[in-house]
Structure 1
Amino acid sequence: MAVENLARDLGVPIADLSGSDIACDVHVRRVFLRTHLAEYADLDHIVDVGRRLHPR
């Protein structure tokens, strides 16, 4: 999130922002699993679901 703020708010050029879009912590994982957005607790799966839910 800090890297995105630097790029968006301060115009700092960042070479690759592709890995900074979804922050998956224990709370995100719990919500995704409890709401059945994600089928299992794998980090890559949860990030993929999040990206599909909010692509931009």
Structure 2
Amino acid sequence: MSSPRYIISRVVDPIFAVFIGLSAAATRINREEKEKGRTTQQTLDTFRRRLGFPKSS
């Protein structure tokens, strides 16, 4: 049995995978919101509001 292969390292690979997944999700959400006629700023404001953060100025 051979040893496992890592792209970067045993610790960084999972962090990298989560980063890639979150980036892909953000890109898809932004694209879908633009198709609905919303700007990126409107999308971010909605996201912040849903998370309970105060409105940005």
TM-score normalised by L of structure 1? 0.33
Q: Which has the higher contact order (CA 8 A, sep 6+)?
A: 1
Q: Quick check: which has more Rg, 1 or 2?
A: 2
More helix by share: 2
